[in-house]
Amino acid sequence: MSNKKVDVAIIGAGTAGMGAYREVIKKTDSVVLIEGGEYGTTCARVGCMPSKLLIAAAEAAHFGQHTQPFGVTYDKPVIDGKAVMKRVRDERDRFVGFVKEDVEDWNPDHRIRAYAKFVDDHTLELSNGDTIEADRIVIATGSSTFVPPPFKAFGDRLIINDDVFDWDDLPDSVVVFGAGVIGLELGQALSRLGVRTSLFGRDHLVGPLSDDVVKYKARETFMEEFPFHPHGEVTRMENVGDGVEIDHIVEGKTLTEKYDYALVATGRRPNVGKLGLENTSVKLDERGVPTFVLATGQTSVGHIFIAGDAGNNIPLLHEAADEGKIVGYNAARYPQIRAFTKSSPIAVMFSDPQIMMVGESYKALMEREADFAVGSVDFKGQGRSRVMLVNNGILRVYGERGTGRFLGAEMIGPKAEHIAHLLAWAHQSGLTVSEMLDRPFYHPVVEEGVRTALRDLNAALNMGPVSPARCIDCGPGG
């Protein structure tokens, strides 16, 4: 048992913790990075990267079955579940390996493999019996999948997304609960890979979408492809030994269905419950999470900072990286503190069609009673999208009345991951809709649909007419 005094202690070696560490060592060598679990970020181990590997396999299987309209026909694909999952695991392990190598290259005197718990505002008790006294402390403990108690009825047939990526083979059937990003991405991917899949959501929500027009289009699209119940009424959940059974109500009738597994993707919760925060002066919200200032990362106790999923703000890798950098910079220099301007919000869901949100959501604009107008484009007739037979989707863009400033967008449709970046850069640059329309748009590209939506918005803002398409072969969405 030993006692160590340092300038900065960082709890957690995920994306936020690693970002904080890189900033702190620029200013001081008196730092420890404490991690009780495995090195490797949530994204690399059980999040973005393995899920995109599964999605990539699903897209390959799906495309080969839907080429007839091009005049091209393939035999029915043979899906080798073991080969699919081997690539997912191998590539996942490769990504995790890069993270481990990065952390293990750092000064070994700075790294501690143990769990930490607060004794008071400056002292941490470690699971190895040691204690750390720190002038400043960073909480970067990430988050974990939350399983509501009723789902425990599924017993050993209940799985979470973490479990999927350790499969040796694809199962025959899975029922998925939760129509957020994780549930929708994995549910659609498994269905396309030949797994009999049903997805149950709540309150008609689809991913993060808040604009009812876009949300309706998304519900319609996914319901046409596979069994998706956006407000599923499940009345019984049971483990039946070799699988799970559920009863659910459809049009007033109770249906009983059996699946191999129940995948619960109903959200994540910050890993702060075992930190002993009750032993500190930190103020907690109703969920037991420290309240903090996003621009600085400071909690109510000035020398204690929080970043990434632990703060329950926006659980995305790029957000965690930004927040880690912010708290690392400030923890290293405390009591000198700098308030940082956050990047424009951007979120992408890798379903097919993809979903994206940029800037302020429709819900946020309504809640703050913003004076705004809406422009839109339906991709059904958009030239390039129609050529590629991906002309399914809608983009809605929002602009401020009076100033013409671009405020945000929500979309389901083709190339949404790329359109999201285009619009996020415009939002962060503070461009007006007119200024965005002055930028070049190549022909023929999917992004011409963005121009159509912006023209529609500018007309709604009374700042310009809806201009005609530049060519006769663009289609009405060109």
Same structural domain, 411 and 454: yes
Residue 315 has pLDDT above 70, yes or no: no
Task: Report d(CA 360, CA 417) in Å as an integer.
Answer: 17
- Within 207-360, residue ranges assigned H as helices are 212-225, 317-333
Token readout for 339 is 């308030």
Do the Cβ atoms of 151 and 262 come closer than 8 Å? yes
Q: Collect all residues with Cβ–Cβ distance below 8 Å to 248 and sequence separation of at least 6.
A: 200, 229, 232, 233, 234, 235, 254, 255, 257
The arithmetic mean of pLDDT across residues 96-119, rounded, is 87
Residue 339 lies in a domain: no
Question: Residue 409 sits in a domain of what CATH number?
Answer: 3.30.390.30
Residue 54 has pLDDT above 90, yes or no: yes
- Quick count: other Cβ atoms within 10 Å of Cβ 467? 12
DSSP helix/strand/coil, 53:
helix
Do the Cβ atoms of 147 and 266 come closer than 8 Å? yes
- Quick count: other Cβ atoms within 10 Å of Cβ 181? 24
Residue 466 lies in a domain: no
The arithmetic mean of pLDDT across residues 239-253, rounded, is 95
Same structural domain, 121 and 107: yes
Residue 478 lies in a domain: no
Same structural domain, 129 and 172: no
Same structural domain, 24 and 125: yes
Residue 125 lies in a domain: yes
Please report the pLDDT score of residue 21 as a whole number: 95
pLDDT 10s digits, 1-45: 689 999 999 999 988 999 999 999 999 999 999 998 876 666 655
Same structural domain, 44 and 93: yes
How are beta strands 158-159 and 261-264 bridged, if at all? parallel
Where in the sequence is the domain holding 365, given as residue range(s)? 346-460
The arithmetic mean of pLDDT across residues 125-141, rounded, is 96
Same structural domain, 252 and 304: no
Same structural domain, 118 and 245: no
Domain boundary among 266, 287, 306: 266
DSSP helix/strand/coil, 239:
strand
Residue 171 has pLDDT above 60, yes or no: yes
Same structural domain, 8 and 139: yes
Q: Which among 283, 280, 413, 407 is positioned nearest to 344, based on CA atoms? A: 407
Same structural domain, 221 and 328: no
Report the domain count for the chain: 3
- pTM summary value: 0.90
Please report the pLDDT score of residue 466 as a whole number: 57
Reported as a pLDDT band with limits 50, 70 and 90, residue 65 is: confident
Residue 395 lies in a domain: yes
Question: Residue 294 sits in a domain of what CATH number?
Answer: 3.50.50.60
Residue 470 lies in a domain: no
Domain boundary among 266, 284, 304: 266
- Amino acid symbol at 149: P
Residue 468 lies in a domain: no
Mean pLDDT rounded to a whole number for the chain: 92
Residue 478 has pLDDT above 50, yes or no: no
Task: Report d(CA 283, CA 470) in Å as an integer.
Answer: 58
Residue 338 lies in a domain: no
